[in-house]
Chain A
């Protein structure tokens, strides 16, 4: 019974978001971005509901959802840390930041902490090349990192 009301809630929320964009096909990316924000990821159920509302194939929704690195199809941590791995940040010492973050969080890149607070990922160039190493935590950008500074910043998200 409880489960049923939960799925109904999700279906209602998906419908509300789709309605906001008049269920237009070309608004799919915005719709998915909003739902990704709301639930932290796009579950199979959410994608099926979007397909229903937009009168599209689920496979097409899945195709779009998996194309973009900022859309998740698996549950992620509450905070997503994205460390820039591109050349300028690598020259500036990205590896030491990577080591410090792994040590501190006790996970490897691509993993999520057991308490669900943090996911650790690499990302490609985030345009902070003159002030590397740099990382994004959710929508916030941090730069000129050293191992200690990086860990202090992450701490604030606890």
Chain B
């Protein structure tokens, strides 16, 4: 158990050392190191970071961009808030290394409007890095230049999706784009763009200093390294924990002193709900994808209520661009309300399940593809509790 608490991000880092190491390498060497470390995106999707950088590196263009996705909006997630507030320089150093590796001179950090109070912290960190010649022109006396701009969001969950984020950066409605082309080919203003999560960038300087082999030692084969988990709900010690990838749900519950646990939502609203039979599954991309949010429910909680809260969230945050998501989230919420009233037949529930599967394959972006996750997993795990409730009224409330 104790061996599972690995501190990478929360260990001290000498500012600039990772960047200095990076500048001793060629661009492709850095990309190879990141590939070898098997670092995967910490925003939730788990795309291999080295491959993403390689694609952007290989794209031919007069300009390229490095974008940091600080639009942390997934319910139950607050790890990036801690990183932004306390470890901003690590983020920016990771971005500068990415800039050097793919051949970009411009970085943008997209900060969600709800975190506007963190902006002064970021401004100050950027200022100090410029003074220390870790950002700006002639970084560490080399010919490499890189600078970072802060861009504020304006309150839209869907902008955490990378192409919606890019649309928003361009001053448009945050509606996801069709892919391909992927951002690494045509992103911000049509230029090759790397979009990585706040946490992903933070690992980069450590990997440059300690080496890919060191990073690989932690976690599982497919999910290397450690991961920050934001833990909330019915636990004694909520907060952000850095744990090795592959830690099981039960180990997490013990660590945060949760008792009488009925269910755990892994990965926020777009993640899945896990019941006790699966508490020994590891939190890793190949098993339970660890978006970073862990919400714990004890036996006193009504899971239908929880599901209703998630579906209300998706109805509100669906951008409305594509039909499966716009209509689907609405219909699933309507179904939850029927269940609440004891008016959802098992036959109709099957229809809703089909709709949920359709949304998964036909929605345009991750929001609509993931929105059915809590619906399906909560229904499957807690059928006994959710179905056949007392009929509240005979009138159909629709």
Contact = CB atoms under 8 A, between A and B. Distances in A.
A139 B116 contact: yes
A11 to B, nearest CB: 21
Given A88-B232, A130-B238, A124 B72 contact: no
A87 B172 contact: no
A69 B154 contact: yes
A71 B113 CA distance: 10
A129 B232 contact: yes
Interface stretch (B47-55, B308-316, B340-348): B308-316
Interface stretch (A1-9, A27-35, A112-120, A145-153): A27-35
Interface string B33-51: 0000000000000000000
A130 B239 contact: yes
A155 interface: no
B171 A29 contact: yes
Nearest to B156: A68
Range of interface residues on B (Cβ < 8 Å): 35 or more
A67 B319 contact: yes
A87 B76 contact: yes
A125 B73 contact: yes
B366 interface: no
A124 B316 contact: yes
A25 B306 CA distance: 41
B154 A125 contact: no
Contacts of B295: 87-88, 91, 129
Contact of A64 (B157, B171, B232, B238): B171
B152 interface: yes
A147 B234 CA distance: 20
B370 interface: no
Contacts of A45: none
Contact of B114 (A31, A87, A127, A132): A127
B81 interface: yes
B154 A26 contact: no
B76 A26 contact: no
Contacts of A102: none
Contacts of B171: 25-31, 64
B73 A67 contact: no
Interface of B: 72-78, 80-81, 113-117, 151-157, 168-174, 189, 230-234, 238-240, 265, 269, 293, 295, 297, 301, 306, 309-310, 312-313, 316-317, 319
22 contacts: A26-B169, A26-B170, A30-B152, A32-B154, A64-B173, A68-B153, A68-B155, A70-B154, A86-B269, A86-B309, A87-B309, A123-B114, A124-B73, A124-B75, A124-B317, A127-B72, A127-B78, A127-B115, A128-B78, A129-B76, A130-B232, A136-B114
